[in-house]
Structure 1
Amino acid sequence: MAAPGRHRSSRKRFLAATLAAAAIGGGAFFGLDASSRSARAADGCAPNESTPMGKYWLNNNTWGADTGSGWSCTWSAYQSGNTIGWGTAYEWSGAPESVKSYASSVLGWHWGWKSGATGLPVRLDAKTPVRAKWTYKVKETKAGAYNVAYDLWLHDRADTDWRSRPKHEVMVWLAKGGAAAPLGTRQQRVKIAGAYWDLYSGKTGWNVHSFVRVGNTTSSDLDLNEFLQALVRRGAVAKTDYLSGVEAGTEAFTGKAQLDTTAYSADIG
């Protein structure tokens, strides 16, 4: 990800500033099901359109749209305290190894800050809990490749802004479909929060570490700090690094699908 338009391809990664102008064709709403159309007033189908939801904001992040053709729409469903419901639908064709969009909920830093009172950043040696709860479902109407994943951003300083390049990106894949694969090479299999995860590491403009769950799930209740501390123990990240951003969404490579989040929350500390 990067400015409001950057996420990553699992093979290539680019800065958002070079991608934010990617165009999406009209008529996207005709691809949405009835429940999506009912939320049309809150829909965002413009590339990288943002929707505030309390301490979070939704990002219709189409950073990789220039590697294919298609569309992505993202909408809010409800907000109750720190819990939100939201959804996204997309249809993409093109390079099968490249991510086209990462529609996501954003807490904290995403190439700058849009909201305060997020509890971020926090230094890793403080071992601050990052409790993330997520219940969702994915409906594919045209088979393709995707994941459902958290995306965490780490910096080596607390005072980050839109110019601050991250030091590390840490992904936690809860589910995947088709040939979706993370950047880098497999390092080892680890057990965290009662499940097994394959850890991959690679490098783009920063280091990328991806925990890919062995077996898909449609709900999670995790302390994401456990994944960060696992990397600290490996010496892959420094205990003096800062967690600055927590995102949750779906990376769409190809195909047509809809992700509906029935409940999501991320609480720091």
Structure 2
Amino acid sequence: MKLLALTLGSLASAASITSGALNRRADFCGQWDTVTSGDFILYNNLWGQDNADSGSQCTGLDSGSGNSIAWHTSWSWSGGEYNVKSFANAAYQFTATQLSALSSIPTTWEWQ
């Protein structure tokens, strides 16, 4: 399973990402491993790995530029049927804004 891109539109008065495009980095495979790209933090979360008999998950940052981030995740688990083992996620850090001050929060996802 691969998650390729998450693009967040600008948030009303949220801080903008200033980092330029990044080169693809090596995959990271440990519990709570992270990579930062501008205002995004990319997490490799293995919180349910003890539910599996064996396996792993690795995540890697493909690019980050402006208000976009792209990454991939590869996983292989055996055992622990019906239990979540792991997931990757990206968190966008921004200046807190009251919901009443927002008119929209555009987002785009692309799965491949």
Whether these two folds match at TM > 0.5 is yes
Q: What does the per-residue CA deviation read over 1:102-155, in whole Å, with 9 as the maximum and x for residues that have no partner?
A: 1111124xxxxxxxxx133x444x162222111121xxxxxxxxxxxxxxxxxx
TM-score by length of 1: 0.30
Runs of at least 4 residues of structure 1 off by over 4 A? none
Partner of 1:76: 61
Return the alpha-carbon distance in structure 2 between the equivalents of residues 62 and 46 of structure 1.
Answer: 8
Equivalent residue, structure 2, for 1:133: 108
1:95 to 80, 94, 102: 80
2:91 corresponds to which of 92, 106, 121: 106
**Structure-2-length-normalised TM-score:** 0.68
In structure 1, stretches of 5+ residues that fail to align are 1-38, 109-117, 138-269
Q: Distance in 1 between matches of 2:95 and 2:73?
A: 26
**Relative to structure 1, is the Cα distance of residues 54 and 96 closer, same or farther in structure 2, using a 3 angstrom cutoff?**
same
2:36 alignment partner, one of 47, 52, 77? 52
CA distance in 2, matches of 1:70, 1:80: 32
The correspondence of residues 29-40 of structure 1 with structure 2, limited to 5 A, is 39=24
Corresponding residue for residue 166 of structure 1 = none
Gaps of 5+ in 2: 1-23
Q: Aligned with 1:87: secondary structure?
A: strand
The Cα offsets for residues 56-80 of structure 1, whole Å up to 9 and x where unpaired, read as 1110000111111210111111112
Could you tell me which residue of structure 2 aligns to residue 61 of structure 1?
Answer: 45
Per-residue Cα deviation, 1:204-242 (whole angstroms, up to 9, x for no partner): xxxxxxxxxxxxxxxxxxxxxxxxxxxxxxxxxxxxxxx
Structure with a larger share of its residues in strand? 1
Larger Rg: 1
Structure 1 distance, partners of 2:98, 2:79, is 40
Identical counterparts, % of pairs: 33
Q: Secondary structure at the match of 1:42?
A: coil
